Amino acid sequence: MSEAPFPPQPSRRSLLQAGTLVLLLGTQQIARGASILAVRVWPAQDYSRVTIESDRQLVAKQFFVTTPPRLAVDIEGIDLNPELRELVAKVKADDPNIAGIRVGQNAPNVVRLVVDLKRAALPQVFTLPPIAAYQHRLVFDLYPAEPEDPLEALIAERLREAPPSAPLPNIAAAKPGTPGDPLGELIAQQSQRPGAPPPPVGLPAPAAPATPPPVVAAAPTPPHAPPPTPAAPAIAKATDRLIIVALDPGHGGEDPGATGPGGTREKDIVLKVAYLLRDRINATTVGGNPMRAFLTRDADYFVPLGVRVDKARRVQADLFVSIHADAFTTPAARGASVFALSQGGASSSAARWLANKENQSDLIGGLNVRVQDRHVQSALLDMSTTAQINDSLKLGSVLLGEIGSMAKLHKPRVEQAGFAVLKAPDIPSVLVETAFISNPEEEAKLRTAAYQQQLADALMRGITRYFAKNPPLARSRSV
Ligand SMILES: [Zn+2]
Q: What is the pLDDT along the chain (479 residues), one digit of tens a residue?
A: 443 433 344 444 443 333 333 334 433 444 457 899 999 999 999 999 999 999 999 999 999 999 999 999 999 989 899 999 999 999 999 999 999 999 999 999 899 999 999 999 999 999 999 999 999 999 999 999 999 888 888 888 777 776 544 443 343 333 444 445 555 665 666 655 554 444 444 433 333 333 333 333 333 333 343 344 334 344 334 446 889 999 999 999 999 999 999 999 999 999 999 999 999 999 999 888 899 999 999 999 999 999 999 999 999 999 999 999 999 888 988 999 999 999 888 999 999 999 999 999 999 999 887 765 555 544 555 555 788 999 999 999 999 999 999 999 998 999 999 999 999 989 999 999 999 999 999 999 999 999 999 999 999 999 999 999 998 864 443 33
- Give me ligand 1 centre to Cα 217, in Å: 37
Which of 101, 104, 102, 111 has its CA nearest to residue 76?
111
pLDDT at position 136, please? Answer: 97
- Give me ligand 1 centre to Cα 132, in Å: 15
Q: Which residues of 186-210 are buried (b: 16+ CB within 10 A; e: fewer)?
A: bbbbbeebeebbbbebbbbbeebee
SS3 labels along the chain: CECCCCCCCCCHHHHHHHHHHHHHHCHHHCCCCCCEEEEEEECCCCCEEEEEEECCCCEEEEEEECCCCEEEEEEECCCCCHHHHHHHHHCCCCCCCEEEEEEEEEECCEEEEEEEECCCEEEEEEEECCECCECEEEEEEEEECCCCCHHHHHHHHHHHCCCCCCCCCCHHHCCCCCCCCHHHHHHHHHHCCCCCCCCCCCCCCCCCCCCCCCCCCCCCCCCCCCCCCCCCHHHHHHCCCCEEEEEEECCECCECCEECCCCCEHHHHHHHHHHHHHHHHHCCEECCEEEEEEECCCCCCCCCHHHHHHHHHHCCCCEEEEEECCCCCCCCCCCEEEEEECCCCCCCHHHHHHHHHHHCHHHHHCCCHHHHHHHHHHCCCCCCCHHHHHHHHHHHHHHHHHHHCCCCECCCCCEEECCHHHCCCCCCEEEEECCCCCCHHHHHHHCCHHHHHHHHHHHHHHHHHHHHHCCHHHHHHHC
- Give me ligand 1 centre to Cα 334, in Å: 15
- Give me ligand 1 centre to Cα 253, in Å: 13
- Give me ligand 1 centre to Cα 279, in Å: 22
pLDDT at position 30, please? Answer: 41
Q: Which distant-in-sequence residues (6+ apart) come within 8 Å of 148 by Cβ?
A: 45
- Give me ligand 1 centre to Cα 335, in Å: 14
Q: Which distant-in-sequence residues (6+ apart) come within 8 Å of 186 by Cβ?
A: 155, 158, 159, 238, 240, 242
Indicate yes or no: pTM above 0.85.
no
- Give me ligand 1 centre to Cα 208, in Å: 29
- Give me ligand 1 centre to Cα 435, in Å: 10
pLDDT at position 192, please? Answer: 58
- Give me ligand 1 centre to Cα 8, in Å: 23
- Give me ligand 1 centre to Cα 415, in Å: 15
Separation between Cα atoms, residue 85 and residue 413, nearest integer Å: 52
Q: Which distant-in-sequence residues (6+ apart) come within 8 Å of 382 by Cβ?
A: none
pLDDT at position 313, please? Answer: 93
Q: Which distant-in-sequence residues (6+ apart) come within 8 Å of 292 by Cβ?
A: 154, 158, 242, 243, 244, 245, 281, 282
Angle in degrees, CA 390, 395, 396, rounded to 5: 95
Strand 121-128: give its sheet, edge to edge: 36-42, 48-54, 136-144, 121-128
pLDDT at position 473, please? Answer: 62
- Give me ligand 1 centre to Cα 113, in Å: 34
pLDDT at position 369, please? Answer: 76
130 residue type, one letter: P
Report the DSSP beta bridge partners of residue 142.
Answer: 48, 123
Phi, psi angles (nearest 5°) of residue 11: -80, 155
pLDDT at position 206, please? Answer: 36
pLDDT at position 162, please? Answer: 62
pLDDT at position 29, please? Answer: 42
- Give me ligand 1 centre to Cα 360, in Å: 10
pLDDT at position 308, please? Answer: 96
In angstroms, what is the C-alpha Rg of the chain?
24
- Give me ligand 1 centre to Cα 81, in Å: 35
pLDDT at position 10, please? Answer: 40
- Give me ligand 1 centre to Cα 18, in Å: 38
CB-based contact 425:208 (threshold 8 Å):
no
- Give me ligand 1 centre to Cα 321, in Å: 13
- Give me ligand 1 centre to Cα 139, in Å: 23
- Give me ligand 1 centre to Cα 350, in Å: 14
- Give me ligand 1 centre to Cα 442, in Å: 15
pLDDT at position 234, please? Answer: 40
Separation between Cα atoms, residue 383 and residue 117, nearest integer Å: 39
Q: Which distant-in-sequence residues (6+ apart) come within 8 Å of 462 by Cβ?
A: 395, 398, 399, 400, 401, 402, 403
- Give me ligand 1 centre to Cα 251, in Å: 6
pLDDT at position 190, please? Answer: 63
**Cα of 356 vs its chain's centroid, Å:** 18
